């Protein structure tokens, strides 16, 4: 959010207007509160989690929610579910942010080159984009992880690898629209080096949509990594990843449905939080019309 003003140069008061518009959106504010809470619990996990997320206690397995000391109950190994969810937030947030950073960086650079340089560079990049778009996103991710083996590191780079084309296409379209704008032309006419025009004058002006897209990209990556965890192709148990927790809990749905209930709710709330913030950001940054 702090980046937003930088992307629209020479508009004093723009940042404040964006902020005001964002704060007027109640859902966006609610989303921000959720994200701050989740981020806080992720950073402070060892402090705020009541128990060690890995500590088993078989004599106290399947404790129902609200039982002594276990707000959300315990799982099949007697581990405290709340503590596992809190520690899991670290994994999901890190995955979400890293995936989007990889995808947005690679996509933005390639989109910038394609749009600004044109010619064979454009041809090459756009063909690659088309090929990647031809694969259902999750199918390709599952296949690559199947080959390289499941691990948190592989989940991050693979999801990043399959997500970049979205950013490349977006940035390319923006760059093409900017190519003949006066200040870009002026910079070129003044004899400025191509690389400098590209990174100093064009790039900052295409970042706004990238930021909005990235905000929606994080919850998508969180959902995708949870799906991979659920399939056993993501973060492996006993690590308390939310999707993997649901996979572990699904064998006990008759006995203790809360084993899957809480992690799913947690994923949903976090994803909602990001989506609300994304909607608010998009509406605040885009002066043209708003619709819920």
Partner 1 sequence: MVPVLLGIAFITFALVSFAPGDAIRLMLGSESVNVANVERLRRELGLDLPWYHQFWNYLLGLLQGDLGTSIASRQPVADQIFQRFPNTIILTVASLVVALVIAIPLGVFAASRHNRAGDYVALGFAMLGVAMPNFWLGLLLLIVFGLELRWLPIRGIGSLEDGILDYASHLVLPAVTLGTSLAAILTRLTRNTMLDVLGEDYVRTARAKGVRPDRVLFRHALRNALLPLVTAAGMQFGALLGGAVIIETVFSWPGLGLLSINAIRQRDLPTMQGSVLVFAASFMLVMLITDLLYAAINPRIRYG
For the chain, helix, strand, coil in percent to 5 are: 75, 0, 25
Query: How many DSSP H helices and E strands does the chain contain?
Result: 12, 0
- The CB-of-265 to partner 1 minimum distance in angstroms stands at 9
Number of residues that bind partner 1 (CB under 8 A): 45
Phi and psi at residue 6, in whole multiples of 5°?
A: -60, -25
> Is the CB of 73 or the CB of 184 nearer to partner 1?
73
Q: Interface mask (CB under 8 A) for partner 1, residues 73-92, using x and -? A: --------------------
Taking residues 262 to 281 in sequence order and writing x for each that binds partner 1 by CB under 8 A, - otherwise, the string is: -xx--xxx-xx--xx-----
> Which DSSP string corresponds to 161-205?
HHHHHHHHHHHHHHHHHHTT-HHHHHHHHTT--HHHIIIIIIHHH
230 binds partner 1 (CB under 8 A): yes
Shortest reach from residue 227's CB to partner 1, in Å = 5
Q: Pick left, alpha or beta for residue 36 (phi over 0 → left; psi -120 to 50 → alpha; otherwise beta).
A: alpha
Residue from 44, 146, 186, 193 binding partner 1 (CB under 8 A) = 146
Nearest-angstrom CA–CA distance, 277 and 210: 14
In sequence order, what E strands does the chain have?
none
When the beta carbons of 195 and 254 are compared against partner 1, the nearer one is 254
Radius of gyration of the chain (CA): 22
Cα–Cα distance for residue pair 126/149, rounded to 1 Å:
29
Q: Contacting partner 1 (CB under 8 A), which of 19, 37, 117, 143?
A: 143
Q: For helices 81-117 and 152-178, give the axis angle rounded to 10 degrees.
A: 40
The stretch near partner 1 (CB under 8 A) out of 11-19, 42-50, 74-82, 221-229 is 221-229
Asked if 136 touches partner 1 (CB under 8 A), the answer is yes
Pick the piece of the chain touching partner 1 (CB under 8 A) from 50-58, 65-73, 106-114, 242-250: 242-250
Q: Is 156 in the site for partner 1 (CB under 8 A)?
A: no
For position 292 contacting partner 1 by CB under 8 A, the verdict is yes
Q: Which residues form the interface with partner 1 (CB under 8 A)?
A: 127-128, 130-131, 133-140, 142-144, 146-148, 219, 223, 226-227, 230-233, 243, 246, 250, 253-254, 257, 260-261, 263-264, 267-269, 271-272, 275-276, 291-292
């Amino acid at each position: 959010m702090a980046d937003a003003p930088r992307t629209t140069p020479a508009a004093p008061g723009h940042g404040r207007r964006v902020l005001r518009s964002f704060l007027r959106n109640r859902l966006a504010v609610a989303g921000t509160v959720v994200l701050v809470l989740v981020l806080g619990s992720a950073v402070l996990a060892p402090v705020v989690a009541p128990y060690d997320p890995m500590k088993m206690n078989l004599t106290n397995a399947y404790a129902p929610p609200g039982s002594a000391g276990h707000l959300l109950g315990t799982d099949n190994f007697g581990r405290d579910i709340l503590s596992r969810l809190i520690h899991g937030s670290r994994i999901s947030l890190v995955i979400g942010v890293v995936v989007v950073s990889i995808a947005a960086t690679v996509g933005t650079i390639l989109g910038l080159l394609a749009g600004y340089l044109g010619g064979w560079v454009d041809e090459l990049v756009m063909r690659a984009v088309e090929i990647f778009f031809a694969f259902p996103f999750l199918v390709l991710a599952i296949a690559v992880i199947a080959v390289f083996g499941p691990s948190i590191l592989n989940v991050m780079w693979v999801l990043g690898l399959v997500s970049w084309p979205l950013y490349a296409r977006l940035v390319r379209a923006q760059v093409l629209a900017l190519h003949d704008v006066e200040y870009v032309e002026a910079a070129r006419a003044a004899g400025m080096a191509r690389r400098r025009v590209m990174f100093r004058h064009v790039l900052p002006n295409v970042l706004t949509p990238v930021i909005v897209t990235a905000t929606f990209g994080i919850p998508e990556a969180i959902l995708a990594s949870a799906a991979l965890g659920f399939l056993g192709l993501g973060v492996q148990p006993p690590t308390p990843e939310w999707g993997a927790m649901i996979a572990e809990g699904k064998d006990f749905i008759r006995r203790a449905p809360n084993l899957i209930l809480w992690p799913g709710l947690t994923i949903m709330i976090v994803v909602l939080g990001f989506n609300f913030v994304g909607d608010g950001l998009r509406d605040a940054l885009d002066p043209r019309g708003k619709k819920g």
